[in-house]
Amino acid sequence: MKHLFSIMLVSLMLLGLSCKEGNKKEEGPSQMERVLAIHDEVMPKMGELGKLVGQLKERAGTSESSEQYEMAIKDLQKANVAMMDWMKEFGDRFSSKEILDDEQLSEQKKLLLAEEEEKVKLLKDQITSSMARAKALLAQRD
């Protein structure tokens, strides 16, 4: 329950930042804004990811070659867990002021943010590729 509350809190903070109309700097988005933009791009896909799992489960139940469907389901589920884990860890590493107000970060926090940027890029690739494989598999006929 505590884990779910943390995820919901981080999601609300990230949503608040994505909806916030702040002063845009001429030099472009900050690193925090770039990280959150990747999150905001991928997060809406989580609903579609869940639907794909359901479609794959249905297809696996009626297919003679259910193993490939089961593998695709596991890939999607791993991507979902990776997203939830990333959001929790991100919320644990950064305060709401750092996330929502783009507060100045210490040198240590800048290093952590660089790590998080790489992680969220990999996460985006994981989600995108697992969804693409699932869609391709669903497009095939047994």
Residues in the chain: 142
Give, in order, the Cα–Cα distances in Å from 124 to each of 34, 61, 127. 13, 29, 5
Which among 115, 106, 122, 116 is positioned nearest to 14, based on CA atoms? 116
pLDDT average, residue stretch 113-121: 97
Question: Which tens digit of pLDDT belongs to each residue from 10-54?
Answer: 555 555 555 554 444 458 899 999 999 999 999 999 999 999 999
pLDDT of residue 127: 98
HSE, side-chain direction, 13 A CA sphere, residue 39: 28
Residue found under tokens 């933009």 = 37
Q: Is the distance from CB of 10 to CB of 91 less than 8 angstroms?
A: yes
The gap from C-alpha 99 to its chain's centroid, in whole angstroms, comes to 16
pLDDT tens readout for residues 55-100: 999 988 887 778 999 999 999 999 999 999 999 999 999 999 999 9
List helix spans (H) across 20-106: 31-42, 45-62, 66-93, 96-100
Record the pTM. Answer: 0.78
